[in-house]
Structure formats: structure tokens, C-alpha cells
Amino acid sequence: MESVTYQIGLLGAGIKPFGAQIEAAVRARVTEIGDDLAEALSFFGPGEQPSARWPSVIVYVGGDTVTDEEDIEAMIAASIPVVPVVFDLEHYSSQVPPALKPINGSAVDAAAPDFAAIVNVVLENLGLLRKARRLFLSYRRVESTPVAQQLRIAFDAQGYDAFLDTNSVPKGDPFQDVLWHRLLDSDVVVVLGTENFLASKYTKLEIANASAMAVGMLQVLWPGVQSEPFASLAVPFQLEDADFDGKQLKSETLVRIVSATEKLRARCLAARHASLIGEFCEEVRRIGGNPLVQPERFVLAEMPDGRRIAAIPAVGVPDAQRYHEASSRFPVGDHGATEARLIYDHRGMLPQWMSFLDWLDDFLPVKGLRVTDTAAKLGRV
């Protein structure tokens, strides 16, 4: 079987000074997702046409002159997503081709460009990162509520659905159940490591559950607070006195925290993806099957009775859109698969959401499968 190729176009006047930096950033981030994925990347420039067989995305970096207009029009006509990047959003329309003016663009600082957020958007459009951006803010109310509120706003501005307990639990819903459901569906937990953070049984429980769910963490540590070995993927971010303006963080510090989270996000999701695949493969082998991990990042399980099951990992909480994406990208019959399953970890999921997923199975070609039920469900003929 031909290996998948992830195609990335680099166009626009701004590519000449920054194209190599963007390519290096993409390769570094992809390596965090999977050691062999960097070999599957293919970059192309103006006048080149990507293959319609494999996923593609374009990064257009605007500049003083507008270039590659025909290429951009052709890509849009072919339904290839384009990520516009400029250095001044106030002059966005004069830096991009007319076809890109209706598309929401991003800005980076030309003097010190940070392409972390752009790279994540590229990987989302290639299907290497899920498009839903969710994180969980874990904090002690009596010590860090002003900073937690600041960060929620900062992350929301970058397209994240940031969970903050005082704002994000609907009235009348079971508080703790919603907490665990949203924790399960988070890309990263941002821990506000104040002096007495671990003195609260509730914050201890959040950290314990995040570790059990294999959700990675960014530890934002207050001055003088030491890093704690919370989990295998817990990265410290040390604050200094100069980062504060009273009880709140300075705006430049907020930007640094958001950037650090962007850089960590791919690693966190990759670790959970690998954990989900590993657990599924172990269960398949236990019932005598042969699981084969494919370049497209799914598992083709050859069962003892001759069935060939395409198992598509879904990190976090699956929804109807995830089922649609799975059925579009992995239709039954491709790769010789006789059936397709969306595999997920339900531990921490709301009971009513599990009932919803069970209901979807009655109507969709791709069926859901709780990874803990693999042997019980797939072992039956």
C-alpha cells in the first residue's frame, strides 16, 4: 500500500524570508506526533500542484506585494484549505490576494515571529491534530482566580474552548461530572501552581484524574514554587515576580503562556493517541487478532474469523462530526476493511453522552467502540 503524503504549500511574498522557518517548525511539531511522520511531509511552492489523493493545506504569507494569485484561486477551487498569515492585520486586505480577503487570517510579529499557532492550524487541516481546541484550567480559587480569568480570556481569543469551573458548568448540571467530562475532552491542562495549590483535595483530584486520563499538563509555577512530578507529560513554566502586575499577569506573560501551550498541545494529543492505539492493539492480540498500525494513523485489525476492522482513534469525547470525518476518510471497503470502528476512552464521560454515542451506532456506518470493550465486542462473531 502506498504511504500517505501530507502536502503543505508555501506561497506569498513573505515566504522568501520565513518559508524555511515555517517548514522547520512544521517538521519539528510533526516529529513530536510521530517519529516517522516527518518523512511523510511534502512541501511545494508556486506553480506546483498537489496530488488530489492526499491531504493538502496552503500557508500564504503576505508581504509588501501580492503574489501567487492564480495559484491561490486554483487551490480554493480545489477545496484546499488556505491559512493566511500577515504581519499587520490592519492592512490584511492589501497583503493577500482578493480570493483570501473573506478568509480569517492570523498575524505574527515580523521582528520575532512565533509560528506555533500557525503550525497547529496546518496540522489540524491535515487531520494530524483535531480541530476542536479545548483546555482545562486547574487552579485554587482563593489564590489565583484573577489569573485564571485572564488566561480564560487569552485562550478564548486564540480559538480555545477554555474550561473554567466558575464559568463553564451550566446551572443545574452535576458539577463534578461535568468537570471530569471536560477534563477528558481537553488537549492540555493548564495548572496554576500557586503556593498552596496541592493543599486542596479538589485540585489534587483534578491532577490525579488528568494523569489517569493521560492528559498532559503545563505547570504555570508561581515565583518560588517548585515543579511537582504530576505526570509523565507535565512541563513546567516558571513565573518570576516581574511577570506580575499586582495580582494579575502582564500581557506579554499571557502571550508566552499561550505560546507554550500551543507548543505542548501536539505532544499531549500524540501521547493520548498512542495510548489509545496501544490499549486497542493489546486487546486485539489478547483475542488472537493481528493489529497493524497504518501510515494514515489508524489500525487495521485482522481478526481470527477473517474480519478486517479499521479502528480510528478518537482522542477525547467523540461527537457526530468526528463520526462523519471517520466515515469520510475511512469508508468501509478501503484497505480491505469489512467494518470501521471509532475507538475512544469513555472513562470520565458523562453517562448521557455515552447513551448518545450508543444511539448514533444505530444510524451510522462507522460504529463507536469503547476501548475497554474491545475484547468483549470484537471477540464475538
According to the model, what pLDDT value does residue 28 have?
92
Question: Using CA atoms, how far apart are residues 7 and 343, in angstroms rounded to an integer?
Answer: 27
Among 65-74, 135-144, 372-381, the minimum mean pLDDT is found in 372-381
Q: Which residues are CB-contacts of 109 (< 8 A; sequence separation ≥ 6)?
A: 87
295 pLDDT higher than 80: no
pLDDT at residue 26 tops 80: yes
Question: Which DSSP string corresponds to 63-124?
Answer: -SS---HHHHHHHHHTT--EEEEES-GGGHHHHS-GGGTTS--EE--SSS---HHHHHHHHH
Predicted local confidence at residue 305, as pLDDT? 92
Q: Which of 2-11, 322-331, 358-367 has the highest mean pLDDT?
A: 358-367
pLDDT tens digits, one per residue of 325-344: 888 877 677 667 899 999 99
d(CA 133, CA 74): 29
Question: For the segment 142-160, what is each residue's pLDDT rounded down to a tens digit?
Answer: 999 999 999 999 999 888 9
Tell me what percent of the residues of the chain surpass a pLDDT of 70.
Answer: 95
pLDDT computed for residue 325 by the predictor: 85
Mean pLDDT of 243-268: 93
**Better-scored residue on pLDDT, 267 or 58:** 58
- pLDDT of 293 reads 86
Contact present, 132 and 159 (Cβ < 8 Å): no
d(CA 115, CA 135): 20
pLDDT band at 1 (very low <50, low <70, confident <90, very high): very low
Q: Which residues contact 340 (CB under 8 A, 6 or more apart)?
A: 309, 310, 311, 312, 326, 327, 330, 331, 332, 365, 366, 367
What pTM value is reported for the model?
A: 0.83
- Identify the pLDDT of residue 53: 83
* Rounded Cα gap, residues 312 and 329, in angstroms: 10
Q: CA 129 to CA 315: how far, in whole Å?
A: 10
Stretch 277-291: mean pLDDT: 95
- Position 170 pLDDT exceeds 70: no
Segment 170-181 mean pLDDT: 79
The answer to whether the beta carbons of residues 106 and 119 sit under 8 Å apart is no
Window from 147-151, 190-194, 228-232, 357-361 with minimum mean pLDDT: 228-232
d(CA 266, CA 315) in angstroms, rounded, equals 12
Question: Residues 31-87: pLDDT tens digits?
Answer: 888 767 888 999 999 999 999 888 899 999 999 899 999 999 999 999 899 999 999
Share of residues in the chain with pLDDT > 90 (%): 67
What cell does 337 get? 476493511
| Whole-angstrom distance, CA of residue 347 vs CA of residue 13 | 48
- pLDDT > 80? residue 171: no
Q: Residue 337: what pLDDT?
A: 87
> What tens digit of pLDDT does each residue of 206-242 get?
999 998 888 999 999 999 998 877 656 789 999 999 9
Distance CA 79, CA 381 (A): 41
C-alpha 240: how far from its chain's center?
A: 29
Contact 9, 45 (CB under 8 A): yes
Q: Residue 60 to residues 7, 27, 87, 100, 278: CA-CA distances in angstroms?
A: 14, 18, 12, 9, 37
